[in-house]
Amino acid sequence: MLALLIAPFHPTMNDVQRDASLVIVLICWLGAIFTYLLSRRAGMGRGLALLATALLALASPWLAYARAFFAEPAIGLAAVIALWALEADRPFTSALAAAAAAFFKPPLAVIGGGFLIDRIEQKRWRDFLVLFSVLAVCGIVLIAFNYWLARTAIISSNLSGPWPLGSNTAANFFHLSDTFFGSEHGLFVWVPWTIFAIFPIGQAFCSPGARPRFMREMSFPMVLQLVVLTASNFGPGYCFGPRYWVPFLPWMAVAAAETLRTSGWVWRTTFAILAMLSMAFAIVGALRYWQILSQSPWFLWAGTDYAAFPLFRWP
């Protein structure tokens, strides 16, 4: 994707990384724009929509990932477009965006799968057929391309042995706790305000009649994502913060803003404190991105010897 976008400008070898970085920044910017549009589509006023956008752009790892070459920002953009289109009753566009997320990383097919479950529950059969048809065609195209390229249906370094995960199947629930509370990659550690999103989304998952409806629509893909993370024994690897949850941060920002709308002053005060803490982690992480990979968010605040990092020494 990056090559396709920068190729028309005929960059020299020395310009490729700079131009690719610019594309990543634009992707993250578009993610923030569609987070605002999703908030408005969900019925929020301008103030709450801007709050959700600010949470994503300034108080989450989304900011630091604007400096990274991971696929997560692009997947997150696809995910927020998919949900926005679903809310706007555009199942064809939603399916294309959900398929794009799976093109980047096959496990993110949980987004399209979750939307299908939601449409079955609501008995919206026309939407289901459109979603299923587009996702199926895109899936066939992806499998055909993978087979042509590498003689395998799915290209993934995390798959080995018998289907679905083979030797990468988890033997315990360590990764379930680590994905939320681990100091290096835990969601609640790096982005504590997401507590105001995860629990309401979980509650919506357990309540078929939950309102607003978009919270339940979020819940199916996110629960499927949690199942995948729990069932596998591979973590996010050498990266910044909760990488596997970064694609869902736009959704969580919208959910947190919605939760705040109906909260009392005690919870709003708590939320403000957690948001400011998240902002501190995000800004420091963006400024010192390479120094904080697979470290706790407070690593750079603990008297780190910066001389140990030659790339960041001043002349």
Question: Which string of DSSP letters, residue by residue, matches 42-63?
Answer: TT--HHHHHHHHHHHHHSSTTT
User: Does 202 score more than 90 pLDDT?
Assistant: yes
What confidence tier does 150 reach under pLDDT thresholds 50, 70, 90?
Answer: confident
User: Does 193 score more than 60 pLDDT?
Assistant: yes
Contact (CB, 8 A) for 168 and 158: yes
Phi-psi region of 67 (alpha: psi -120 to 50; beta: other; left: phi over 0): alpha
Q: How many CA atoms lie within 13 A of 284 on its CB side?
A: 19
User: Does 68 score more than 80 pLDDT?
Assistant: yes
pLDDT for 212:
87
Residue carrying structure tokens 């048809």: 133
Closest CA to 214 of 161, 172, 257: 257
User: Does 308 score more than 70 pLDDT?
Assistant: no
pLDDT for 307:
44
Contact (CB, 8 A) for 42 and 63: no
User: pLDDT digit string (tens) for 8-20?
Assistant: 988 889 999 999 9
d(CA 23, CA 5): 8
What confidence tier does 188 reach under pLDDT thresholds 50, 70, 90?
Answer: very high
Read off the amino acid at residue 270: T
pLDDT for 166:
55
d(CA 42, CA 40): 5
pLDDT for 314:
36
Domain boundaries, the chain: 2-7+17-292
pLDDT for 20:
92
Helix then strand then coil, in percent of the chain rounded to 5, is: 70, 0, 30
pLDDT for 165:
55
pLDDT for 313:
38
| Percent of the chain at pLDDT exceeding 70 | 90
User: pLDDT digit string (tens) for 70-80?
Assistant: 999 999 999 99
User: pLDDT digit string (tens) for 211-253?
Assistant: 888 999 999 999 999 998 888 877 788 889 899 999 999 999 9
pLDDT for 151:
85
User: Does 35 score more than 50 pLDDT?
Assistant: yes
User: pLDDT digit string (tens) for 243-292?
Assistant: 999 999 999 999 999 999 888 899 999 999 999 999 999 999 898 888 88
d(CA 125, CA 267): 39
Read off the amino acid at residue 310: P
User: pLDDT digit string (tens) for 153-187?
Assistant: 887 765 555 555 556 676 677 778 889 998 899 99
Q: Which residues contact 89 (CB under 8 A, 6 or more apart)?
A: 127
What confidence tier does 310 reach under pLDDT thresholds 50, 70, 90?
Answer: very low
d(CA 247, CA 89): 22
User: Does 90 score more than 60 pLDDT?
Assistant: yes
